[in-house]
Amino acid sequence: MERVLTTLSHKEPDRVPLFLLLTMHGAKELGLGIKEYFSKAEHVFEGQKRMQKKFSNDCYYAFFHAAIEVEAFGAEVMYSNDGPPNSGLPVIKNIEDIKYLEAPKVGETKVLHKVLKAIELLKTEGKDNIPIIGVAMSPFSLPVMQLGFEKYFELMHFHKDLFDRLMKINEAFCVDWSNAQLAAGATAICYFDPVSSPTIVTKDLYRETGFRVAKSTIAKLNGPTATHFASGNCLQLADILPETGTAVVGVSTQEDIGKLKQAYQKKLTLLGNMNGVEMRTWSPIKAKTIVKELIRKAAPGGGFILSDNHGEIPFQVEDETLLSIADAVKEFGTYPIKKGF
Amino acid sequence: MTNAFFINHHYSSMNYSQCMKRNQHIKKFTMFGDRFAFLPDKLKNEKMDALKLAGDQLESALLSLDEPAAEKIIRDAAKQTSPIKIAGELISSTLKRIGDTWEKGELSLSQVYMSGLICERIIDKVLPAQSASRKNQPKMAIAVLEDFHLLGKRIVYSSLRASGFGLTDLGGGLSIDDLVSIVKEEQIKILLISVLMLPSALHIKNLKSRLADDVKIVVGGAPFRFDENLWKEIGADYCGKDSAEAIEIVSKLMEENK
C-alpha cells in the first residue's frame, strides 16, 4: 500500500508499483470456465489472492466484467470461453425509452452483490496492505452498452433532454455503485471512461459532456479514482482532466509515455501503458525490454504505476510473460532508477 | 426536443476561409489527377479545382453535421457527371480524407461516424440501393463476428455505400457457422469482418479455413490496430485500419475482379 500511496503523491517509493489488471486469469488458475468463475464471489477472491502472490502484484483487482453493470439494468450477458463476457443486445431499444428508465439500486440488485462480497473477502485477506481496485463505468461511457454506439451518438448529437436525463440516471447509479464498493473495502475506483477519449469524441464535445459528468460524479465518490480510457488516447486532455478530481489516468500504448509523463507531470499519476493485445506474442526478452523502456521514461520522480493500457489483460497472455514482466519490474524498477541502463 | 446542440464547435464556428485554410494542412488526395489525365492541362486543372473545392466544402459541411449543405454540394456536383462517379470521386475521397485525419488524431470517431452516415443517406437519394450502377460488382458483405460491437462495421458500411459500392450488412453476433453458411449460400466473394475483441479476431483463422480460396477476407477493428501482425497470423487477405483504408482495399479488389 505504501508503495502505491508514495507514487500517487508524486514521490519515489521503494520500487515502481505493478498493477497487473488480471480478470480472467483467475479462472485458469482455478481450473474453471469463465462463466463459472464469475458466478461466485469466492472464485474471484481466490483467483485474485493467488494471482497477487504469483505475480507479486501490487493490487487486487475486484473487476468482474463491464457487462455486469448493464446486467443490473436488465441486459443479457454473453459469456465466452476465451474472453471477457460481453453485453448482449442493448437494453434501451429506442431513445424514447430513456423517458421511463430508472437507475437500479445497488442494495436491491442481486447480481452486483457478489462483487461486493469479493471485495469484502479481499479486504479481510489484504488487511489494508494491498490496495483493492473497484471498477465503475462512467455515466458517459455506460450508454455504449445500454444503447449501442450508433444510437448513443444520435442521442449525444440530437436529443439533449434525453441525453441529460440518461446522464442523471447513470450518475446516480455510478455514485451508488462506486460508494458501495468503497464501503465494502475497495481502496479506489477505476472510473472507465473510454468515450471521453479524443479518439472517440472531440475535446470540445468532451468539455460539454464527459468532463462535466465526470466532475459531478467524482465529487460524490467517497474515495479516490483512476480515470481509465481503456486504450483510448488522452494526451490532449492533460490540461483539463485533473479538474475532474481524479488522481490517476490510464494511458494508451498508442501515445508516447514520455510525452504523457511530461504533460501530466505532478498532476496525475500515470497507469500504463503496456500493449495488452501484443503482450500475447511477447517473448520473455521482449517483455523485459518493454518494461525497462517504460520505467526509464516514466518512473523517475514517482507518479507512475506500470500496467497494461486497456485495464484488462487478455486471457491469451501466458503466465510466463506475466512473470517476466514482474521480474523486470523488480530488476529495473527499484528507486532510484538507474540512469542510462 | 431535438436539435444539433452538440455540433462540433470548432468547425461550426469556423467561417469558410478558415475551413479552407485548415484543409490546406490535410493530406491532399491525388486520385483526381489520374481521372482527368486525358484532358488538356487547362481543362484538367479546372476540373480538379472544382472537385477539390467541392471536396473541401463537403468536408466542412459534414464535420459541422450540416446535412442540407452536404446534400446540396453532392447534388450540384452530380449535375456535372454521373451519381456513381460522384460517389466514387467526391464522396469517397472526402470520407477517406476524414478517415485519414481521424487516424492522425485530429478528428474524433463520432465525426467519422456522422460523416459516413450523412453521406450514406444522401447517396441513397441520388443513387438508390437498387441502382444498376451498383450491380457490376462482386458480392460483398460485412459482419461483426460473435458480439454486438457494431460501430466499426457501421462506419465502414456507410463509407463504402456512400462511395458507391453495393454490400450486404449481415449484422452482429454471428458465429463462425453462421458466416460459413451465409457466405456459401449467398456466394459472397468479399467478406469484411469487424471485431472489437481479441478472441473474436483470433477465431477468424477458423473461419478462413472453412471458406473457399476465392473468398477474400478483409478484417478491421481494435485488435488489429494494437497488433499489426495479427491479421496475417489469422490468415486474412487484407486489413484496413479504418474506413479510409477499407475504401482503398475494396476499390483495389473491385479493380482486380473487373
Q: What is the chain B residue with the closest CA to A281?
A: B227
User: CB distance B110–A86 less than 8 Å?
Assistant: no
pLDDT of residue A183: 98
Question: Three-state SS for B185?
Answer: helix
CB-based contact B219:B238 (threshold 8 Å): yes
B14 touches chain A (CB under 8 A): no
Residue A192 C-alpha, separation from nearest chain B C-alpha, in angstroms: 17
| DSSP H helical ranges for chain B | 9-12, 16-23, 31-35, 41-63, 67-80, 83-86, 92-103, 109-126, 151-162, 176-186, 198-209, 222-226, 230-233, 243-256
> Any idea which of B75-79, B87-91, B99-103, B203-207 has the lowest mean pLDDT?
B87-91
pLDDT at B30: 32
Give the global pTM: 0.86
Report how far residue B92's alpha carbon sits from residue B85's, in angstroms, rounded to the nearest whole number: 10
| Residues in chain A, pLDDT under 50 | none
Give the C-alpha separation, A133 to A271, whole Å: 13
Q: Could you tell me if A315 lies within 8 Å of chain B, comparing CB atoms?
A: yes
Residues of B in contact with A201 (CB under 8 A): 108-110
* Pairwise CA distance, residues B19 & A295, whole Å: 42
The reply to whether A209 touches chain B by the CB within 8 Å rule is yes
**Chain A residues near residue B173 by CB distance under 8 angstroms:** 78, 88-89
Cell 481494435 found at: B222
Per-residue pLDDT of A30-80, as tens digits, reads 999 999 999 999 999 999 999 999 999 999 999 999 999 999 999 999 999
CB neighbours of A303 closer than 8 A, spacing ≥ 6?
A: A7, A8, A10, A261, A264, A265, A266, A268, A269, A270
Please tell me if residue A148 touches chain B, with a CB cutoff of 8 Å.
yes
Query: What ipTM goes with this model?
Result: 0.85
In this complex, which of B108, B111, B227 lies closest to A277 when CB atoms are compared? B227
Nearest by CB to B148, from A88, A208, A281: name it: A88
Closest CA–CA distance from residue B205 to any residue of chain A (Å): 15
What's the average model confidence in pLDDT over B125-152? 76
Residue A29, SS3 per DSSP: helix
What Rg value do the Cα atoms of chain B yield, rounded? 19
Whole-number pLDDT of residue A272: 92
Higher pLDDT, B43 or B206: B206
Helix axes B176-186, B198-209, angle to 10 degrees: 40
Contact criterion met (CB below 8 Å) for B199 and B206: no
3-state secondary structure of A287: helix
Residue of chain A with shortest Cα separation from B10: A204
B106 interfacial to chain A (CB closer than 8 Å)? no
Taking CA atoms, B244 is separated from A57, A246, B59, in Å, by: 41, 36, 14
* For the ranges A116-125, B47-56, B104-113, B129-138, the one whose mean pLDDT is highest: A116-125
Encode pLDDT of A152-192 as tens digits: 998 998 899 999 999 999 999 999 999 999 999 999 999 99
A275 interaction partners in chain B (CB closer than 8 Å)? 226-227
Q: Under DSSP, is residue A255 helix (H, G, I), strand (E, B) or coil?
A: coil
Does B109 contact A90 at a Cβ distance shorter than 8 Å? no
Helix ranges restricted to H, A55-159: 67-72, 110-126, 143-147, 149-158
Please tell me which residue of chain B has the smallest CA distance to A279.
Answer: B227
